Structure 1
Amino acid sequence: MRSAFVKMTLATLLFGSYLVASKLILREAPVFTATLVRLASAALFLALVVGLRRGPPWRAPSARDAALLLAQSGVGVFLFSLCAMQGVRLTGGIESGVILSLVPIAVSLVAVLFLGERLTTRRSLGILLSVTGAAVISALATHGAPAAAADGASSEGAWWGIALLLCAVGCEAVFLTFGRFLSRPLPPDRLSLVVAGLGALMFVVPAAIEPQGLMHAEYSWRTWALMAYTGVAINGVAAVLIYDSMGQVDATVAGAFTALTPVSGTVLAMVFLGESLHAHHLLGMALVIAGVFLVAATAAMAKREEPEAPASEGELVAPQTSR
C-alpha cells in the first residue's frame, strides 16, 4: 500500500507539471508541433513499456472497434490538444490546472446523461461544489486578476481560454467513455499506445505546414527537452505509475490523488511561471477538490454495493495517457 501511495504522489506531481511545461513550450513552439513531439515521445515510451511487459499477443480490432479508436484519437487527442493548449496560452497556469481538474466531474455527468447511472445526492453535491469552484476561478480570473494577464493575455482572451479549456474537459470525458464501448477492451498501456500513435499521425501534416512549425523548427534545446518531457514523463511514466497503483487502492483514494493535481500545478506555476496565489485560487481549488473527492467516494460506495457490476466511474477518475 505504501508503494502505491508513493507512485500516486509522484504521478500527481508529474501531471501537475503538464500545464506549466506546456505554457513554457508555447512561448517558442506552436501548438501542432509541440503536440506532435509530445505524442510521438509518448508512443515510443509506451511501445517500450508494452514490449517489456510481454502481454498476450495483439489481435486486429474489428471494424467497429477500429472506428471507435479513431474517434477516441480524433476527439480525445486531436481536438483535446488543440483546445487545451490554446486555452493554456490564453489563461494563467493556476486557472488552467483548476479547470482541467474538472475531468472526473465531466465524466460523472456523461455517465448520468448517456450511460444511465444514477444522480445521487452525494454525486450532485460533488458536481455542484466543483462547478462552483471553477466558476469562482473563472469569474475572478477574467476581471483583472494578475494571473489572467499572464503572458499578455487580456480579460477577453481569458474568457476564450476558459471556454477552450472547458471544451477540452468535455473532449476528455467523451474519450474516457468511448473506451467502454469497445467489444474487445485493450489493457490501459496498449490502449494508450494505440491512441497516442494515431494522435501523433493526425498532427504530422498540420505540424509540417504551420508557421514556425516542424519544417521551420529552430527551437532551443530546452523547448525540445520540455516537449519530450511532456510525452515521456507525463503521458508515459505518470500514467504507468497510476495504472500500476490502481490494483492496490480503491476508487476513493484514486479520486483524492487526482484532485490533488491542480495543487501541485499551482505550486509549480508559482515557482516556474512567477504567478501569484490569491484567495480566490485557494477557494476555487478547495471546492473543486472537495467535489472530485465526493464523486470518487460515491463511485467507491456504488462499487462495494454492486461487486459484480462492471466498474465504471471509479475507474474513469484515473488520468489517461493519451494527453
Structure 2
Amino acid sequence: MGSRLTGYLFCALAMIGVGSTVVASKLIAHGLPPFAATALRFAIAFPLFLLAMKLTGETWPRVSRREAWLLVLQSGSGSVGYTVLLLSGMRLTSATDAGVIAGTLPAVAALVAIVALRERPGALTLGAVALATAGVIVCTAHSGEASAHGAAGAPAPMLLGDAFVLLAVVCEALFILLNKRLKTPVSPLQMSTAMSGIGLALSLVPALLERPWTLHYDGLAVAGVVYYALVPTVGGFLLWFAGAARIAGAQASALTAFVPVSAAAFAAAVLHEAIGVAQWWAIACVLGAVLLIACDGARSTPRKAKPTQAARVRIG
C-alpha cells in the first residue's frame, strides 16, 4: 500500500509540473524564439540526464538502425515538435486554454491509435474521445468570442494559438504511438536521455537560424526555460517514471487529470488569468475524458500487467 501511495504521489506531482509548463511557456514565448528556447531547454537537461546515467551505471541501449530512426522520429515529434508548437501557441492563447487542450492527451493518443493502427476502441474510449473533443470545442469557442473583441476583420489569434497547442498534443500522441513500435527494451532514464540528446541535435540548427545572439534576452523568459528544463523535464520525467513503476497503467493515466486543473490554478495565480464559465466546462469535459480512458484501461488490463507500461503516457 505504501509503495502504491508513493506512486500516486510521484505521478500527481509530475502532472502538476506538466500543468506548470503552460505558464512557463507563456513567459518564454514572449521573450525567446521557439527553437532557441527548445535548444536551451535540452542543453540544460541533457547533461543532467547523462550524469544520472553515469551515477546509476546505465549504458546506451543497443538498437537496430530501424529503431534508431524511430527514436529520432519520437524526439522530433514528442520533444522538439511538442515544445516548439506549444511555445508558438502560447504567444497567442491563454495558459488556461492551453492546459485544457494539453489535458486531452490520453484521448488524442487513443484517437491517433484508432486512425493510424486501426485499433477497435471500446465504448468508453469513444466516449472519452467525444468528451475531449467537446472540451476542445468549448475552448476554441471561448477563444473565438475573446478574439471577436479585437479589431474588425482581424484574424482570430487565440484560435490559431489553440490550434498550435492541439497540434503539439498530436505530436505527443505520435510519440506514444512510435514508442509502441520499439522492440528493444529501453529504460525510462535511457529514453529520457535519448529524447533530450536527440532533441538538442534536432533543434540546434533551426535555433541558430533564429540568430539568438542578436536578441535582447528577457530575464523572465530565460528563467522560464531553466525552470522548464529542471522541474518538468528532469524532475518531472524522473517522478513520473518512478511513480508509474509502482501503479497500474490505468491509474497512472487517470492522474493526467491534474494537468488542466494545475494549469488553470497556475494561470490564475501567476499570470492572473480569469477562468470563465466556458473554461470550467471545458475542464470538466477533459476530466471526464481522462476518467473514461482510465476506466477503459482498468477493464482491459490484466491484473498482473506490468505497471511500467504507464510510463508511455507523458507530456513534454
TM-score under structure 2 length normalisation: 0.90
In structure 1, runs of 5+ residues without a counterpart are none
Structure 1 127/288 Cα, relative in aligned 2: closer, same or farther at 3 Å? same
User: Which residue is equivalent to 2:24?
Assistant: 21
User: Which residue is equivalent to 2:176?
Assistant: 176
After superposition, give the CA deviation of every residue in 1:171-200 in whole Å (9 maximum; x if it has no partner). 111111111112313112211211211111
Q: How many residues align?
A: 310
Residue 319 (str. 1) matches residue 314 (str. 2): yes
Q: Is the CA contact 2:107–2:125 (under 8 Å) kept in the aligned structure 1?
A: no
SS, match of residue 261 in structure 2: helix
Q: Is the CA contact 1:254–1:317 (under 8 Å) kept in the aligned structure 2?
A: no
Q: CA separation in 2, counterparts of 1:281 and 1:156?
A: 18
Residue 133 (str. 1) matches residue 128 (str. 2): no
Q: CA separation in 2, counterparts of 1:62 and 1:241?
A: 29
Residues 14-163 of structure 1: matches in 2 within 5 Å?
14-55=17-58, 57-144=59-146, 156-163=156-163
Structure 1 251/217 Cα, relative in aligned 2: closer, same or farther at 3 Å? same
Q: Is the CA contact 1:136–1:280 (under 8 Å) kept in the aligned structure 2?
A: yes
SS, match of residue 7 in structure 2: helix
Q: Is the CA contact 2:32–2:218 (under 8 Å) kept in the aligned structure 1?
A: no
For 2:160, the aligned partner's letter is W
Q: Is the CA contact 2:250–2:294 (under 8 Å) kept in the aligned structure 1?
A: yes
Residue 278 (str. 1) matches residue 310 (str. 2): no
Q: Is the CA contact 2:140–2:162 (under 8 Å) kept in the aligned structure 1?
A: yes
SS, match of residue 31 in structure 2: coil
TM-score under structure 1 length normalisation: 0.88
Q: CA separation in 2, counterparts of 1:175 and 1:317?
A: 9
After superposition, give the CA deviation of every residue in 1:89-137 in whole Å (9 maximum; x if it has no partner). 1100000111111111111112223334331111111111111112111
The percent of aligned pairs where both chains have the same amino acid is 28
Runs of 4+ in 1 over 6 A off after TM superposition: none
SS, match of residue 113 in structure 2: helix
My pick for the range that moved more, 162-171 or 5-14, is 5-14
In structure 2, runs of 5+ residues without a counterpart are none
User: Which residue is equivalent to 1:266?
Assistant: 264
Report how far residue 143 of structure 1 moved.
0.8
Q: CA separation in 2, counterparts of 1:206 and 1:255?
A: 34
Report how far residue 68 of structure 1 moved.
0.9
SS, match of residue 58 in structure 1: coil
Q: CA separation in 1, counterparts of 2:155 and 2:251?
A: 37
SS, match of residue 186 in structure 1: coil
